[in-house]
């Protein structure tokens, strides 16, 4: 505050001390009070709405219990569990994913017709004259080997006209794989017509060693091979299919290097080089994703060429 040499205040300083108009001050107080009341009312309504939503939305625990008790509860549990899983930190997501996996397997890898399964993209196909398993699977963009999972006593050689088959439809590109290196899990997701996505598969994996880590990025499946030959990355020796030294377990799912920083030779495969306890949920490969054969077969039959894969 500036003053004159004689100690009196300047006109600028005096302006700061002009008494306020009492009428205007009272009006301002009223406006402030009304605004505060509006905020309190809004917060109260929000709290009530949240409480009402919580009361009408079943908890995940109750959905889990219902899914265990009644097949009609499996689809709601999978949908809600998948929604929650996407919001969790890695360790919590792993635990919930492991809990959801048996129910996902019932829906997507068994012949069980679950109530509401159409919500998950599971449908039925009636065999027409001249159709083959390969053609039916291609129409829905899955591998023909998925049909035996979804249909009891399926026999490709005894397919008959009018036969009703359970099948998963991902023909619009709804399927995506995600490998989480921090939790050693591979997840398969299907986008839902209602919005969001549902967990299709959740399986443990082995990943790259510290000196040859599994690369990160967004890529796609470029090739799927059953009973592939294997090139030993250390010796560059080519080991044919069926040779005990071929450690790929009979499966090779190649990934596009373009989305992985140019890393070539990266894929998803089975592994028979040592007991599972030595490599599952551990680093140790030359960068590839290792899986148990029972799990990699499901991935192989589910995810065709072009499927998006996120490595993180």
Model confidence pLDDT, tens digit, residues 278-305 = 999 999 999 999 999 999 999 999 999 9
High-pLDDT (> 90) share of the chain, %: 80
- Condensed to tens digits (0 to 9), the pLDDT of residues 85-95 reads 999 999 999 99
pLDDT exceeds cutoff 80 at 106? yes
Rounded to whole angstroms, the Cα distance separating 83 from 57 reads 13
How much is the pLDDT for 58?
75
How much is the pLDDT for 273?
95
C-alpha dihedral, 91 to 106 to 300 to 120, nearest 10°: -90
φ/ψ bin of 121: left (φ > 0), alpha (ψ from -120 to 50), beta (otherwise): left
Rounded to whole angstroms, the Cα distance separating 142 from 137 reads 5
Judge whether 301 and 226 are in contact, CB under 8 Å.
no
pLDDT exceeds cutoff 50 at 188? yes
pLDDT exceeds cutoff 70 at 168? yes
Sheet holding 197-204, edge to edge: 197-204, 185-191, 175-180, 308-311, 217-226, 251-255, 267-270, 289-291
Beta carbons within 10 angstroms of residue 149's beta carbon = 21
How much is the pLDDT for 162?
97
* Total-model pTM: 0.81
pLDDT exceeds cutoff 80 at 262? yes
- Condensed to tens digits (0 to 9), the pLDDT of residues 6-48 reads 444 343 333 333 344 544 554 555 455 445 545 544 444 344 3
Q: Could you say which DSSP state residue 248 is in?
A: S
Which domains does the chain show, CATH number per domain?
60-168 (3.10.350.10), 175-311 (2.40.440.10)
pLDDT exceeds cutoff 50 at 209? yes
As a whole number, mean pLDDT of residues 199-220 equals 98
Burial class (CB in 10 A: 0-12, 13-18, 19+), 41: exposed
- 55 or 221, which is more confident: 221
As a whole number, mean pLDDT of residues 66-91 equals 97
Question: Which of 43-47, 99-103, 175-179, 274-278 is least confident?
Answer: 43-47
pLDDT exceeds cutoff 80 at 170? yes
Judge whether 207 and 183 are in contact, CB under 8 Å.
no
pLDDT exceeds cutoff 70 at 115? yes
């Amino acid at each position: 505050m500036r003053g004159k040499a004689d100690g009196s205040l300047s006109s600028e300083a005096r302006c700061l001390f002009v008494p306020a108009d009492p009428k205007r001050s009272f009006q301002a107080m009223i406006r402030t009070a009304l605004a505060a009341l509006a905020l309190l009312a809004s917060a109260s309504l929000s709290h009530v709405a949240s409480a009402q939503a919580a009361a009408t939305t079943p908890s995940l625990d109750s959905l889990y219990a219902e899914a265990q008790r009644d097949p009609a509860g499996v689809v709601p549990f999978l949908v809600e569990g998948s929604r929650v899983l996407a919001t969790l930190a890695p360790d919590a997501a792993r635990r919930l994913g492991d809990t959801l996996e048996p129910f996902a397997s019932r829906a997507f890898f068994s012949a069980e017709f679950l109530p509401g399964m159409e919500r998950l993209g599971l449908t039925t196909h009636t065999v027409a004259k001249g159709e083959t398993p390969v053609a039916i699977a291609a129409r829905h963009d899955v591998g023909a080997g998925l049909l035996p999972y979804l249909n009891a006593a399926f026999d490709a050689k005894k397919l008959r006209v009018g036969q009703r088959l359970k099948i998963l439809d991902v023909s619009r590109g709804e399927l995506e794989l995600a490998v989480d290196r921090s939790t050693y899990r591979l997840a398969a997701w299907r986008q839902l017509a209602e919005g969001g996505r549902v967990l299709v598969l959740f399986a443990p994996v082995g990943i790259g060693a510290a000196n040859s880590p599994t690369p990160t990025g967004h890529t796609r499946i470029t090739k799927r091979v059953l009973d592939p030959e294997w090139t030993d990355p250390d010796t560059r020796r080519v080991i044919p299919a069926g040779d005990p030294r071929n450690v790929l377990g009979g499966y090779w799912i190649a990934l596009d290097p373009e989305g992985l920083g140019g890393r070539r030779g990266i894929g998803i495969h089975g592994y028979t080089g040592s007991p599972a306890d030595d490599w599952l949920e551990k680093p140790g490969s030359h960068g590839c994703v290792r899986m148990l054969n029972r799990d990699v077969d499901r991935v192989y039959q589910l995810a065709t060429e072009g499927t998006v894969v996120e490595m993180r």
